[in-house]
Amino acid sequence: MVATSPPAPPDWDYAPAPESADVVSIAPQYGLFIGGEFVPSADGGSFATLNPATEEPLAQVAQAGPQDVDRAVAAARRAYDGPWGATPGRDRAKYLYRIARVIQERAREFAVLESLDNGKPIRESRDVDVPLAAAHFFYYAGWADKLQHAGFGPGPRPVGVAGQVIPWNFPLLMAAWKLAPALAAGNTCVLKPAETTPLTALLLAEVIAEAGLPPGTVNVLTGDGATGAALVAQPGVDKIAFTGSTEVGKEIARTVAGTGKKLTLELGGKAANVVFDDAPLDQAVEGIVNGIFFNQGHVCCAGSRLLVQESVADTVLDRLKRRLGTLRLGDPLDKNTDIGAINSRQQLDKITELSAAGEQEGAERWSPACALPDRGYWFPPTVFSGVSQAHRIAREEIFGPVLSVLTFRTPEEAVAKANNTPYGLSAGIWTEKGSRIFWMAQHLRAGVIWANTYNRFDPASPFGGYQESGFGREGGRHGLAGYLDA
Ligand code: NDP
């Protein structure tokens, strides 16, 4: 018999599977949503929102100034003192159900618009952001007529007008996290979406109008940081809810101090994802990938610090690298894409700068071979090994697809390293021992702890942090507390 070499493996590749952008119609110009209608800003100012995957402008969006903030807060106050304040919980529930149903009906449109404006893969906007946003409205619809049973005393009252400032990483979902509990509790809202991702909040405003909520119950002010700051400082606002950077959160806390405004802050994180040597390693590798590469790592609770037990560190790193080699980076609208675009030039610069600092400080940098598109904002999945606790990439929130790998020998060392951060938002534990999970969960200082999984979200489950990750909880019964004067 003649020995022959095995045939070369077929060069399998995925055929392109793009979701059609035709399901959304994007207007060339958007106004502010105040008092139930879309209106231009008082000074006529506007700015462009871009598709970060192509750098092409998608639309011009009105820039709200202080006069617009006053108008929106006045509209919210009229709705609160008027029709929305007089709407009983059982009817508020119906409105919330209606919003949830319309989001479901228009899910494809929301998902495509989110991917276009944010750069996240359609797989994620379609399967995570949009269904979870609808689920939040459904969940809080259930609470609207049961507030007296929520554990906040017999007659909890709404706070009044809520000013809500949200970031760009989960634009629609963060709007749902803010609006659903506020409306269920009987408040009216003025929402400020992030400058780079205003479009799904504006589509949500359209849905809210379609659902028939009284004018002024929800107002949406597009704009930049100055718009957010004006909303926070507006004296007619009774409660501020903010999600974003720790730096801006601190500034907001200083503005609000002494005003009597209620405040909840959901800020940054630098979570440890801790893998013990008895963990199911293939599952853990999937959890590590989901923990830091989901949404390009633009996740406040991302597992950005991998703490792996020394005895399995080489194995985990090998398997992780092999797995990262299979991730597909590119067109966010392609259903096979795992890693989409970075949301903005500014964020790309920040990720680039911090990654360069990682190399300069002596950590070993690795990325799989992957071609980056010529246009748009892109960063390859990146792993740093040999990271020490003093390195900037182990301490600072990178908010991008960059993983810092550290090792430990004992559970005590894992806890000490995991807790060695000014943040305290989330953590992950991978081990087969239930007792170890409980021991670790008792010792880790983090608001959310996942065991043998990562990045699981449910509207019934409270989410929030300690220390520089902020205070207050969103989601679950706890999420109502910030919107009730109990
Ligand atoms: P910011 O905290 O600046 O933005 C969050 C929201 O606050 C946006 O709507 C922003 O408006 C608004 N805002 C900005 N300045 C003020 C202000 N002074 N008063 C009131 N509102 C304000 O986050 P960035 O988008 O600038 O991101 C910077 C870093 O923050 C990221 O690299 C990441 O590390 C972290 N981050 C953390 C998030 C989290 O979920 N924990 C979410 C987003 C960012 P505008 O968009 O117009 O600037």
DSSP 247-282: HHHHHHHHHHTTTT-EEEEE-----EEEE-TTS-HH
User: Rounded to 5 degrees, what angle do the CA atoms 7, 8, 9 make?
Assistant: 110
Dist CA 308 CA 420 (whole Å): 15
For 130-183, write each residue's pLDDT tens digit. 999 999 999 999 999 999 999 999 889 999 999 999 999 999 999 999 999 999
| Mean of pLDDT values over 461-483 | 96
Would the pLDDT of 14 be above 90?
no
Residue 384 has pLDDT above 90, yes or no: yes
What tens digit of pLDDT does each residue of 38-67 get? Answer: 999 999 999 999 999 999 999 999 999 999
Token pair belonging to 290? 């989901």
Residue 3: pLDDT band (50, 70, 90) is very low
CA-closest residue to ligand 1 atom 32: 399
Q: What's the 240 CA to ligand 1 centre distance in angstroms?
A: 14
Distance CA 272, CA 426 (A): 8
Residues with a known catalytic role: 266, 300
What string of DSSP letters covers 215-252? TTSEEE----HHHHHHHHH-TT--EEEEES-HHHHHHH
Our answer on whether the CB atom of 232 is closer than 6 Å to any ligand 1 atom is yes
Q: Give the distance (Å) from ligand 1 centre to CA of residue 165.
A: 9
Mean pLDDT of 464-479: 96
pTM above 0.85, yes or no: yes
225 CB within 6 A, ligand 1: yes
Give 290 Cα–ligand 1 centroid separation in angstroms.
23
Average pLDDT over residues 384-408: 97
> In angstroms, what is the span from residue 235 Cα to ligand 1's centroid?
22
| Residue owning the nearest CA to atom 11 of ligand 1 | 225
Residue with tokens 């800020």: 267
One-character DSSP codes across 281-332: HHHHHHHHHHHHHGGGG--TT---EEEEEGGGHHHHHHHHHHHHTT--BS-T
pLDDT mean over 279-290: 98
Task: Classify 62 as helix, strand or coil.
Answer: strand
pLDDT at 252: 98
Whether residue 169 has its Cβ less than 6 Å from ligand 1:
yes
Residue nearest to atom 27 of ligand 1 (CA): 245
Atom of ligand 1 nearest to the CA of 232: 20
pLDDT at 291 > cutoff 70: yes
Cα distance between residue 395 and residue 426, in whole Å: 15
Which ligand 1 atom lies nearest to the CA of residue 174?
A: 40
Residue 13 confidence (pLDDT): 80
Res 192: pLDDT: 98
Q: Is 246 in the pocket of ligand 1 (CB under 6 A)?
A: no
Each residue's pLDDT tens digit, 227-268: 999 999 999 999 999 999 999 999 999 999 999 999 999 999
Any atom of ligand 1 within 6 Å of the Cβ of 397: yes
Maximum pairwise Cα distance, the chain = 92
User: Does 251 sit in the ligand 1 pocket, CB within 6 Å?
Assistant: yes
Atom nearest to 269 CA in ligand 1: 41
Q: Report how far apart, in Å, the C-alpha atoms of 69 and of each of 66, 313, 466 are.
A: 5, 53, 31
pLDDT value of position 273: 98
Distance 197 CA to ligand 1 centre (A): 12
The residues pairing with 51 across neighbouring beta strands, listed in sequence order, are 56
Q: What is the pLDDT of residues 424-438, one digit of tens each?
A: 999 999 999 999 999
Please indicate whether residue 399, judged by its CB atom, sits closer than 6 Å to ligand 1. yes
Confidence at residue 486, expressed as pLDDT on a 0 to 100 scale: 79
Alpha-carbon distance of 183 to 76, in angstroms, equals: 12
- Closest C-alpha to ligand 1, atom 46: 194
Is the pLDDT assigned to residue 222 strictly greater than 70?
Answer: yes
pLDDT at 18: 93
Instruction: State pLDDT tens for residues 176-220.
Output: 999 999 999 999 999 999 999 999 999 999 999 999 999 999 999
pLDDT of residue 11: 67
**Residue 362, token pair as written in the block:** 């002596």
Cβ–Cβ under 8 Å, residues 425 and 300: yes
Tens of pLDDT along 74-89?
Answer: 999 999 999 999 999 9
> Is 226's C-beta closer than 6 angstroms to any atom of ligand 1?
no
CA of 201 from ligand 1 middle (Å) equals: 16
- At residue 385 the predicted structure's pLDDT band, cuts being 50, 70 and 90, is very high
Which pLDDT belongs to residue 102? 98
Per-residue confidence (pLDDT) for residue 5, from 0 to 100: 57
Q: What is the DSSP letter of 346?
A: H
pLDDT at 4: 54
* Helix ranges restricted to H, 379-482: 392-395, 411-418, 434-443, 478-481
Supply the residue whose CA is at minimum distance from atom 26 of ligand 1.
245
Q: Provide the pLDDT for residue 85.
A: 97
**Could you tell me which of 185, 190, 230 has the C-alpha nearest to residue 208?**
190
User: Which phi and psi angles does 469 have, rounded to 5°?
Assistant: -90, 0
- The C-alpha atoms of residue 370 and residue 327 are separated, in whole angstroms, by 9
Name beta bridge partners: 192.
165
Looking at residue 282, its pLDDT comes to 97
| Ligand 1 pocket, residue 342 CB under 6 Å | no
CA of 193 to the centre of ligand 1 (A): 10
Question: Contact, 227 vs 221, CB < 8 A?
Answer: yes
